Amino acid sequence: MRVLVIGSGAREHALVNGLLRDPSVTEVVCAPGNAGIAVVTKTVPVDASSGAAVTELAQQLAADLVVIGPEVPLVLGVADALRAAGIPAFGPSRDAARIEGSKAFAKDVMAAAGVRTAHSEVVDNPAKLDAALDRFGPVWVVKDDGLAAGKGVVVTPDRFKAREHAAECLEIGHPVLLESFLDGPEVSLFCLVDGTTVVPLLPAQDHKRVGDGDTGPNTGGMGAYTPLPWLPDAMVDRIVTEVCEPVAAEMVKRGCGFSGLLYAGLAIGKDGPSVVEFNCRFGDPETQAVLAMLESPLGELLYATATGTLASVEKPRWKDGSAVTVVLAAENYPGRPRMGDVITGATGANVLHAGTTKRDEDGAVVSAGGRVVSVVGVGEDLVAARDAAYATLAGIKLPGGHFRSDIGLAAVEGRISI
């Protein structure tokens, strides 16, 4: 099976590595890829947001499967273009990708499916903003009702900061979603979905804030770990039964059945799981940790999902132990990152590249984005996995680079419970 992976981040690097471990996969090409992916497989340029360009490339490569990593191509309908050409695509249609592309659409689906989530209100007129803010708090949750690469959410007890973020969104023409604050630890659960067939992967926990102790602004994610020692196994079953299956069924009912990876971001409170958000693709950095634990052939799972045969495939098998992902970010991230700095020591199977490129004049690998590399540690438990990740990270040098030193630490110290 020849597989084309679309994207250029650490998520795609993890997908490429997982596919290369599948004996049924004979070739993997990544477009456009990055400097790290180019070391392990062929990379080619492509306009990832163009359905025509991706389809043409897939045809040239005689790809048996196209795996679309990022959300933007999915929201723009790249999977639709591939399917129209008869090429199996892992990723939802444009209509189904609205589960991430429009938070208002996601709320409507959840309401119809009877899924627990935060009370919310859409504001699309600056004149109505102050009155709406008065109906929320003392902790405000303000979301850009569109794609924002994981950084469009502000959670704050400061009404001024909440208003400032909302006003910025409205200024650029984006409606905002105000939500009540959901208490309880957060969980990311990825599910392979083929219509109404829902197959969960390992639950993970992301660390969104830029600084240790969950301080500073939100990012696209600074690290993650899996599995979650504090989460009972029965809770995954509840999430599938109470959240993912009803949402999948509701989308089929609406004529936009979901095919691909449905990512449920949840808060686990005293009454059970409540949805914080849905995404329509593998999450980054959770994917890097989750796929490090996968024993089943990844290509087989993704192909079955793309071709509507997921129900006939053996459920995923997992390694014992734990995995931790730590993100090394460029100076000033999540603001405008400094780019072009030489990065050294970022080699090995457990270093997954994201914002990197190779400099033409001397072949040096330099930073080309906010999140530069993800380092994955695997061990017999969470302590060992953390040790492995941070030991590798110590050998990587990036001027001005920064990372969190506490990924998974609260779980190790027993400070998370439900």
pLDDT above 60 for 151: no
The SS3 call for residue 167 is helix
Q: List the CATH number of the domain containing 207.
A: 3.30.470.20
Please tell me whether residues 140 and 189 are part of one structural domain: no
pLDDT of residue 103: 82
The SS3 call for residue 3 is strand
pLDDT above 70 for 150: no
Please state, as a whole number, how many other Cβ atoms lie within 10 Å of the Cβ of residue 200: 19
pLDDT of residue 147: 66
Question: Tens digits of per-residue pLDDT, 262-315?
Answer: 999 999 998 899 999 999 999 999 999 999 999 999 999 999 999 999 999 999
Nearest partner of 9 among 103, 83, 72, judged by Cα: 72
Please tell me whether residues 287 and 240 are part of one structural domain: yes
Q: CA angle, 341 as apex, 338 and 345 as ends, to 5°? A: 130
Please tell me whether residues 248 and 335 are part of one structural domain: no
Query: How would you class 370 by CB atoms within 10 Å of its CB: exposed for 0-12, middle for 13-18, buried for 19 or more?
Result: buried
Please tell me whether residues 208 and 263 are part of one structural domain: yes
Please tell me whether residues 221 and 263 are part of one structural domain: yes
Listed residues 264, 291, 312: the one ending a domain: 312
Q: How confident is the model at residue 345 (pLDDT cuts 50, 70, 90)?
A: very high
Question: Tens digits of per-residue pLDDT, 347-399?
Answer: 999 999 999 999 999 999 999 999 999 999 999 999 999 999 999 999 999 99
Please tell me whether residues 345 and 396 are part of one structural domain: yes
pLDDT of residue 145: 81
Please tell me whether residues 306 and 203 are part of one structural domain: yes
Q: List the CATH number of the domain containing 156.
A: 3.30.1490.20
Listed residues 90, 107, 133: the one ending a domain: 90
Q: How confident is the model at residue 12 (pLDDT cuts 50, 70, 90)?
A: very high
Please tell me whether residues 136 and 218 are part of one structural domain: no
pLDDT of residue 399: 98
Q: Quick check: 268 and 232 in contact, CB under 8 A?
A: no
106 within domain boundaries: no
99 within domain boundaries: no
Q: Give helix 245-253 / helix 103-113 axis angle, nearest 10°.
A: 100
Please state, as a whole number, how many other Cβ atoms lie within 10 Å of the Cβ of residue 296: 16
417 within domain boundaries: no
358 within domain boundaries: yes
Listed residues 273, 289, 312: the one ending a domain: 312
pLDDT of residue 183: 87
Strands 356-358 and 365-367: antiparallel
Q: DSSP character for 126?
A: G
14 within domain boundaries: yes
369 within domain boundaries: yes
Please tell me whether residues 56 and 145 are part of one structural domain: no
Residue with tokens 């290509």: 299
Q: Quick check: 248 and 310 in contact, CB under 8 A?
A: no
Phi, psi (degrees; rounded to nearest 5) at 145 = -80, 70
Q: How far apart are CA 200 and CA 203, in angstroms?
A: 8
Q: How far apart are CA 243 and CA 114, in angstroms?
A: 8
100 within domain boundaries: no
Q: How many domains does the chain have?
A: 4
Q: Quick check: 285 and 50 in contact, CB under 8 A?
A: no
Q: List the CATH number of the domain containing 25.
A: 3.40.50.20
Range of the domain at 374: 322-412
Cα 131 off chain centre by: 33
Q: How confident is the model at residue 149 (pLDDT cuts 50, 70, 90)?
A: low
Taking CA atoms, 55 is separated from 139, 193, 279, in Å, by: 45, 23, 23
pLDDT above 90 for 152: no
149 within domain boundaries: yes
Please tell me whether residues 370 and 399 are part of one structural domain: yes
Question: Tens digits of per-residue pLDDT, 116-133?
Answer: 999 999 999 999 999 999
